[in-house]
């Protein structure tokens, strides 16, 4: 038997007051809908279908062919939205999870438990519910005297006693697939919002002698539906805490969990310490025994073991073991920094391989370069990589000493063991073992300063 998932994401999310589709708003740097899809990828779902509006190109370019798409041209309600998947799924045997693109905190564990409950109860529909102190805005779960689920009533359609019910519909369900699509044909839009409600399917399935169940999750927080930016901030806080606590339980020290923002796709090894103000976005792999922060931003990076990074920004880059970085360094565009390297204050490294045991301790720009082993890039050394039209490469071989305030005008190669005198502007290759000096000779005018002062 196959398992399917239908993700509802056609709503514009009016309450977000945004030109961006609601499900694309990021939580810890990752678009809402990507959280949902990542979770589904870790459950036993065979096919994922996302319902989108016809102009939702950005969603397609984000998720690419990881999922299948169906288009909902008009936003006529959640029942109508699910029905858009009819063309793909109507005749399939199996179970179908329906989940909203705006409930990104529902965990894979809960999804698995929902499926388990559905299967063991041999249900035709199982609703994921929870108990909320303030159920305003949510659909309410109405049960009969035997505590069996009768129906779901939307907030707007609920009478005053129904509004008192605290058990709510999270918007996540598991269905017998064939029954779902059969029942959807009978859903009408005779309600307060004139919408085709998916929630009406429950009663219809029961009328056809199907079995309806509810699975109550105790974790109220995970069911948060994000309708506006206040809820978006709440989701960021909840996920941040969840991730940080999980890391701490697995041997990472986080000095201040409120001021540390780590994306769900970041792994961190044991005994690494994260100082406040650290932000990890995208996919990062951080080794063990490293010290990150304070005030450091990592995005799509790979950091080795025993690394120290202070007050720095690293994007799409790698750092080897025992290397120290910062304060105030910036690595970007696929820079690969070796091990036992020291990169100090105000050093920018772009699209460069910087090999083991080399240093750039202060004030340097190293772009489009290949730096060998045991190289010293002096204070203020600069690769002049751009001629106003094109970018060119600088190659510096092993054991080179680049004196302070040198310009290396690319394309240029400096051979092994060479020395560049401080203040040189190098525009020709330097042979190995040579000393290159490219600056004006100094002239000392004896007594001139003294005479000048007297005037």
Kindly tell me which residue out of 76, 88, 150, 438 binds ligand UD1, with binding defined by CB under 6 A.
76
Check binding of 173 to ligand UD1 (CB under 6 A).
no
Establish how many alpha carbons lie within 13 A of residue 8's alpha carbon, considering only the half-sphere containing its beta carbon.
Answer: 25
Check binding of 110 to ligand UD1 (CB under 6 A).
no
Site string for ligand UD1, 378-417 (x = CB under 6 A): ----------------------------------------
Residues in binding contact with ligand UD1, number by CB under 6 A: 28
Check binding of 171 to ligand UD1 (CB under 6 A).
yes
Check binding of 303 to ligand UD1 (CB under 6 A).
no
Catalytic residues: 362
For residues 402 and 418, what is the distance between their CA atoms, to the nearest angstrom?
Answer: 8
For residues 213 and 216, what is the distance between their CA atoms, to the nearest angstrom?
Answer: 10
320 binds, among ligand UD1, Ca ion, none (CB under 5 to 8 A by kind): none
Cβ atoms 8, 2 nearer than 8 A: no
Q: Residue for token digits 């005198």?
A: 421
Nearer to ligand UD1, 51 or 430 (CB): 51
Least Å from the CB of residue 137 to ligand UD1: 7
Chain residues 166-225 in contact with Ca ion, contact rule CB under 5 A: 225
For residues 295 and 215, what is the distance between their CA atoms, to the nearest angstrom?
Answer: 42
For residues 244 and 250, what is the distance between their CA atoms, to the nearest angstrom?
Answer: 10
Give the binding range for ligand UD1 (CB under 6 A) out of 69-77, 272-280, 331-339, 343-351: 69-77
Cβ atoms 54, 71 nearer than 8 A: yes
Cβ atoms 150, 143 nearer than 8 A: yes
Show the tokens assigned to 138.
């949510």
For residues 375 and 300, what is the distance between their CA atoms, to the nearest angstrom?
Answer: 27
Which residues on adjacent β-strands are paired with residue 313? 297, 330
For residues 396 and 420, what is the distance between their CA atoms, to the nearest angstrom?
Answer: 11
Residue number with the shortest CB distance to ligand UD1? 139
Where would I find the beta strands (DSSP E) of 116-265?
Answer: 125-131, 140-143, 149-153, 167-176, 212-216, 253-254, 260-262
Kindly tell me which residue out of 105, 152, 184, 252 binds ligand UD1, with binding defined by CB under 6 A.
152
Nearest alpha-carbon partner for 426 in 441, 417, 439: 439
Check binding of 372 to ligand UD1 (CB under 6 A).
no
Kindly tell me which residue out of 81, 309, 369, 436 binds ligand UD1, with binding defined by CB under 6 A.
81
Least Å from the CB of residue 198 to Ca ion: 12
Site string for Ca ion, 222-241 (x = CB under 5 A): ---x----------------
* Contact positions vs Ca ion (CB under 5 A): 225
Binding residues (CB under 6 A) for ligand UD1: these are 8-11, 51, 72, 75-78, 80-81, 100-103, 138-139, 152, 154, 168-171, 197-199, 225
């Amino acid at each position: 038997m196959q398992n399917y998932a239908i993700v509802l994401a056609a709503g514009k999310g009016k309450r977000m007051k945004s030109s961006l589709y609601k499900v694309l708003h990021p939580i810890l740097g990752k678009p809402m809908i990507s959280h949902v899809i990542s979770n589904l990828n870790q459950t036993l779902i065979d096919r994922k279908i996302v319902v989108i509006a016809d102009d939702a190109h950005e969603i397609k370019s984000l998720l690419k062919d990881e999922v299948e798409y169906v288009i909902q041209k008009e936003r006529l309600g959640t029942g109508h939205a699910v029905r858009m998947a009819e063309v793909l799924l109507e005749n399939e045997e199996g179970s179908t999870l329906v989940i909203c693109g705006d409930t990104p905190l529902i965990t894979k564990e809960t999804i698995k438990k929902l499926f388990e409950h559905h299967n063991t109860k041999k249900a035709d529909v199982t609703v994921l519910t929870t108990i909320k102190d303030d159920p305003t805005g949510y659909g309410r779960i109405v049960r009969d005297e035997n505590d069996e689920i009768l129906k779901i009533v939307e907030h707007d359609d609920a009478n005053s006693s129904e509004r008192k019910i605290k058990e709510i519909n999270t918007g996540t369900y598991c269905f017998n697939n064939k029954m779902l699509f059969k029942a959807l044909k009978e859903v009408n839009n005779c309600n307060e919002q004139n919408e085709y409600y998916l929630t009406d399917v429950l009663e219809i399935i029961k009328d056809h002698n199907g079995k309806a169940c509810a699975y109550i999750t105790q974790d109220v927080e995970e069911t948060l539906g994000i309708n506006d930016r206040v809820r978006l901030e709440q989701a960021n806080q909840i996920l941040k805490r969840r991730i940080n606590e999980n890391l701490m339980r697995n041997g990472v020290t986080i000095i201040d969990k409120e001021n540390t923002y780590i994306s769900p796709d970041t792994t961190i090894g044991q005994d690494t310490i994260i100082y406040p103000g650290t932000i990890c976005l995208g996919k990062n792999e951080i080794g063990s025994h490293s010290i990150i922060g304070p005030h450091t931003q990592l995005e799509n990076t790979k950091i080795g073991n025993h690394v120290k990074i202070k007050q720095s920004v690293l994007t799409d880059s790698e750092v080897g073991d025992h290397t120290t970085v910062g304060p105030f360094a910036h690595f970007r565009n696929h820079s690969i920094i070796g091990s036992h390297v020291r990169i100090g204050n105000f050093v920018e490294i772009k699209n460069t391989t910087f090999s083991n045991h080399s240093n750039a301790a202060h004030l340097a720009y190293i772009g489009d370069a290949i730096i060998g082993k045991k190289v010293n890039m002096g204070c203020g050394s600069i690769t002049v990589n751009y001629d106003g039209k094109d970018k060119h490469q600088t190659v510096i071989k092993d054991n080179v000493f680049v004196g302070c305030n040198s310009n290396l005008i690319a394309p240029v190669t400096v051979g092994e063991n060479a020395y560049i005198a401080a203040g040189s502007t190098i525009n020709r290759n330097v042979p190995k073992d040579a000393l290159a000096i490219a600056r004006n000779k100094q002239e000392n005018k004896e007594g001139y300063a003294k005479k000048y002062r007297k005037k």
